[in-house]
Amino acid sequence: MPQHLGSISLLVPSYAEGLDFYARVLGFEVIEDTEIAPDKRWVLVAPPGSRETRILLAEASGEEQQAAVGRQAGGRVFLFLHTDDFHRDHRRYLVAGVRFLESPREEAYGTVAIFADPFGNKWDLLQPRGRT
């Protein structure tokens, strides 16, 4: 039986801030934005062309969740955004104001650079070796 990750929950300070960065700045598609309760929504975003895994933007509620925003991986790279054209996306993200924590580098597995979302989560922008 084939399996895949359907979605990954990502804590954000607010739905508006999460959508602003992921949809407007990174250009992710809003797959769904449904109100579940007056203060809770089901907000799914995904990179353009993604067919399986989505990110569920979860507005942090309460002190514990608010403290975890941007720290879900304890300061390590948390998410890995694969691309078919690293340099195209790297340039576009720089123009959009994405904060890269390093210059692009070549590794045995591909071309990569770490960037941070405005909440503190670290991401790898990665073009795996062998993809053009």
Question: For residue 67, is pLDDT > 80?
Answer: yes
Q: Distance between CA 9 and CA 7 in Å, rounded?
A: 7
Q: pLDDT of 35-50, one tens digit each?
A: 999 989 999 999 999 9
- Specify the pLDDT at position 131: 57
Q: Does the reported pTM lie above 0.85?
A: yes
Q: Are 26 and 19 in contact (CB under 8 A)?
A: no
3-state secondary structure the chain: CCCCCCEEEEEECCHHHHHHHHHHHCCCEEEEEEEEECCEEEEEEECCCCCCCEEEEEECCHHHHHHHCCCCCCCCEEEEEECCCHHHHHHHHHHCCCEECCCCEEECCEEEEEEECCCCCEEEEEEECCCC
* Average pLDDT of the residues in 95-111: 97
Give me the amino acid identity at 20: D
Distance from C-alpha of 101 to C-alpha of 107, rounded to nearest angstrom: 16
C-alpha 55/C-alpha 50 separation (Å) is: 11
Q: Say what the pLDDT of residue 2 is.
A: 86
What domains does the chain contain, in order, with CATH numbers?
A: 1-69 (3.10.180.10), 70-132 (3.10.180.10)
Q: Give CA–CA dist 20/74, Å, rounded.
A: 24
What is the tens place of the pLDDT at every residue in 8-38?
999 999 999 999 999 999 999 999 999 999 9
User: Mean pLDDT of all residues in the chain?
Assistant: 95
- Three-state DSSP at 39 gives coil
